[in-house]
Amino acid sequence: MLEFKYDTQLLIEGEKLSEDAIGTYISSHIEGDCLLAVGDEDLIKVHFHTNTPWKVLEYCATLGDMYDVVVENMERQENGLQG
């Protein structure tokens, strides 16, 4: 059984985005692992494993336009099912 079940990925388009600030907020406010927040001031890709993907989405929605949002259940994938 996985500790963190949902692979949460998305892109944020905005202005004056900071990968460091986004990474720091997510890692200190949302339980999970495998965090990536990479990009530039206009576009950031976020990847995070968590049991509360809605918290990631709620936070990221405050930063700009979100798109290419994907939340996959890795436990189902591990069992050979659609994630």
According to CATH, the topology of domain 6-75 is Alpha-Beta Plaits (3.30.70)
Q: Mean pLDDT of successive 10-residue segments in the chain (83 residues)? A: 95 98 98 98 98 98 98 91 78
According to the model, what pLDDT value does residue 1 have? 80
Domain residue limits, the chain: 6-75
In angstroms, the CA 9 to CA 69 distance is 6
Which contacts of 58-62 are long-range, i.e. CB under 8 A and separated by 24 or more positions?
Answer: 59/25, 59/26, 59/29, 59/30, 60/10, 60/12, 60/22
Q: What is the pLDDT of residue 54?
A: 98
